[in-house]
Structure formats: C-alpha cells, structure tokens
Structure 1
Amino acid sequence: MTKIKTPYHHGDLKAAIIKTASKMLDEQGIEALSLRKIAEKVGVSRTAAYHHFKDKNELLSAIASQGFILWQKQTKAIFDNKNLNHQQQLTQFCHGYIKFSINNPNTYDLMFGRTLWKDNASSDELKKVAYPSFEHQVTMTKYWQEKGILPPSENSLRLAQVLWGTLHGIAKLVLDGIYTDNNNISEMCDCAIALFINTKTN
C-alpha cells in the first residue's frame, strides 16, 4: 500500500523536517539520522527534503540553531524577570544552563560539540543564531559586573567565556554519565556561582 504524501507549504515542510529530525535525534542518536529516513517519516519524497537541506550536516545545523533559539528565549526570560534580584538572575541562569543540557542532551552536543564546530562545518544559519546567543551572555555578564554581582575588574568577554566554560564542563560531566546524582549536580552549580560571586571581594 502506497503511503499518502502529506501536503506541506514551503515553510511548514522545513519545520516538519526539523521537528521530526530532532525527535529521531533524541530517540536514536545522530548516527540514525538521514534525510531519506526523515522524509519517509514526514511523508514526503526525499527530493522534497533535499530541497530544504542539501545534506545531513545542514540539517544538523538547523537542529542546533533551534536549540540556540530555545536557550536564548530562556535566558531572556530570566534576564527580563523583574521579580528576580541580580544574584537570583545569575543563579537561575547557571542552573538553567545545566538543566537545558540535561533536558536536550543530543541537541546540546550539536550546539557545542565537535560535529559542527571542529572543522568549521557549521552553516551560516547556525552562526547567525549561535554568535548572538553568546553575545547576549557577554551583555548579561557586563550588567552583573555593573551591579556588583560579578567582579568588575575582569574583562567582560573573558569572564563570560570562563563562566560559560565552567558551566559547559559541569554539563559535559553530567551528559557523559560521570555525575548522575541531582544533589551533586546542583551543589556543583551552587559552588561555581559562589566562587564567581565571591571573587569580587578578594
């Protein structure tokens, strides 16, 4: 029996492919992904899928882009929350980063892993959302410095990079299965926050 092809508008099909691919990534891992399999699941021809993505790498970049958009949305909600004081903002940002990585492990690996960044394989679309995402973190870092939460004497870019590197390190320890106890993970995050905040008084 021939599978009925689902009619899609131009933008709808691209979104449907990314959504299906993201689900397959979470369930089966990156090795299981192929445009042919994804097109089959969506219910369109492989040619239709290739019309939107020239290869698997471009599709992976699109998935990572969606991850950055989601994370940027979450960080903006924290930064714009007027009910939080500055230290609470920083605390929620750090814990939120670890939580995001745990909830989206495969997407997180694409966002910050060697698959797309090691050999400059990331698409222009991905770079357009990834770089501003970090620039926003630099802006937040500078703001927290101005408010006395983070050490004002440090270069904002370098401080943002070190904070990110610390959180990324914790995230990778969790995703690689080295740490699995939620209490340990939360305490590590709190320890990192305390170290960054306390440096301003040294």
Structure 2
Amino acid sequence: MSRPPYHHGNLRAAVLEAAERLLDQGGPSALSLRAIAREAGVSATAPAHHFGDLSGLLSDLAAIGFQRLVETMRRAATDPAPRAPVHAYVRFAQDNPGLYTLMFRSDRLDYRRESLAAASQASWAVLLRSVGSEARMPAESDLATLGQVTFRWSLLHGFCTLLLDGQLRPLLANPACNGDPHVLLDVMVPPPAPVRPGPVPIPTRPPSP
C-alpha cells in the first residue's frame, strides 16, 4: 500500500517516521537510505539531502528515542512507588524494542551530532537520578557510590537486553513469574537509595550493551 504523499516542510518528519516503521518491522539491520526512502514514498536522494548519510538519519532517530525515554522517566519520577522509574524504563524498552536497540548501537550512530548528543546527555541525567538514586549524583563522588550506581544501571540495561532477545523466556515460564518480567524485576533490582544531591556529571555517550 502506498504511503500518503508528504507536504512541503514535513519531509524530514516523514522520513523519520518511515525509518521507525522499518525499525519496528526488522530492527536496525533493515535500515538503509534506499529502503527508508521507498517506505516514505520519496526519492532515493531525499533522505541524504536532509540527514547527510544513514548514520546521520539513525542518529536523529535515536535522539527521538532518548527524548521519549526522558519524558517517560520524568513522568515515572512523580509516582510514589520506589521502583516506578525502573519499571517505566523496562516498559519503554518493551514498547519500543527496535528504537531501544538502536539507541545503544554506537556502531551505527554519530554522537558528534548535536541532536543525539543533547538527547543522550539529558537521558543520562534522568537515568542516573532515577535508577541510581532518588536524588542527583554529586559531581565528585567516592568510588563506592559510583560502583553502586553502575551496578544498578548495569542490572537494568542488561535485563532489558536479555528480555528483548528472548533469553528470559525460561525464567518467565516459572509459575512464580507468571510470564510477567516485572515480577522478576521487582526481586532483582533493589529500590533506589538516596544519595547526597548535587550536579550530575553527564558522559557524551551512553554505554554500549
């Protein structure tokens, strides 16, 4: 079925939407400038005109993913349940498996691109505050505190990766889990513990899975 024609001024959005559809259907490996242009119903050269190359297009798409993740985590932070941000993060990965995978594919992305750098930095600030603690991390922290935050973050991201790859199916088949990964998540990830407030040091790129 042909896509509706784009109008002058929204070509960029149409191309990004087409890329996300292909991402949902086949993952990052399904993405090429030609395939995206065909899905968007535009000329083969149109995506390159707006994004430069495939890396630029995917970087802008990943930036959208980080922006959505930030919004999701900020909403969850208003929930009184201590693990609400943790569950919100995992649900984001479940609801956006292709986009989540792309966001951490550093081999496909250009973190020098302004849109991606800004969005990933914002998500880091929220993740450090929500996953590691209820407060912001101090700019200078002792190694033990940094280790605790890294441990919590590694658990969460690793859990999402295993979940999306289908590696948790044998565990979720246990009657105690009843097929719900969030039941397992509750007993696996400790609730956030508050630390001293302070500015968050933000890396220029997220870690690779």
**TM-score bucket of the superposed structures, by smaller chain:** 0.7 to 0.9
Q: Evaluate the alpha carbon distance shift between residue 136 and residue 4 of structure 1 in structure 2; reply closer, same or farther with a 3 A threshold.
A: closer
Q: Give yes or no for contact 2:132–2:153 (8 Å, CA) kept in 1.
A: no
RMSD: 2.8
Q: Which runs of 5+ in 1 are unaligned?
A: 147-152, 198-202
Q: Give yes or no for contact 2:6–2:14 (8 Å, CA) kept in 1.
A: no
How many residues are paired up?
Answer: 178
Q: CA deviation at 1:141?
A: 5.7
**Equivalent-residue separation in structure 1 for 2:66 and 2:22 (angstroms):** 19
Aligned partner (choices 83, 92, 99) of residue 107 of structure 1: 99
Scaled by the length of structure 2, the TM-score of the pair is: 0.72
Show the 5 A alignment for 1:122-137: 122-124=111-113, 125-137=115-127
User: Is 1:138 equivalent to 2:128 in the alignment?
Assistant: yes
**Equivalent-residue separation in structure 1 for 2:163 and 2:106 (angstroms):** 18
Aligned partner (choices 135, 151, 159) of residue 162 of structure 1: 151
**Equivalent-residue separation in structure 2 for 1:50 and 1:30 (angstroms):** 18
Q: CA deviation at 1:24?
A: 0.7
**Equivalent-residue separation in structure 2 for 1:91 and 1:195 (angstroms):** 6
Scaled by the length of structure 1, the TM-score of the pair is: 0.75
Structure 1 match to 2:140: none
Max Rg structure: 1
Q: Give yes or no for contact 1:61–1:123 (8 Å, CA) kept in 2.
A: no
Amino acid at match of 2:155: T
**Equivalent-residue separation in structure 2 for 1:193 and 1:65 (angstroms):** 27
Structure 2 match to 1:187: 183
Q: Give yes or no for contact 1:29–1:106 (8 Å, CA) kept in 2.
A: yes
Q: Evaluate the alpha carbon distance shift between residue 189 and residue 33 of structure 1 in structure 2; reply closer, same or farther with a 3 A threshold.
A: same
Amino acid at match of 1:113: R
Q: Evaluate the alpha carbon distance shift between residue 183 and residue 196 of structure 1 in structure 2; reply closer, same or farther with a 3 A threshold.
A: farther
Q: Which runs of 5+ in 2 are unaligned?
A: 137-142, 173-177, 194-209
- State which drifts further: 70-79 or 158-167: 158-167
Identity %: 29
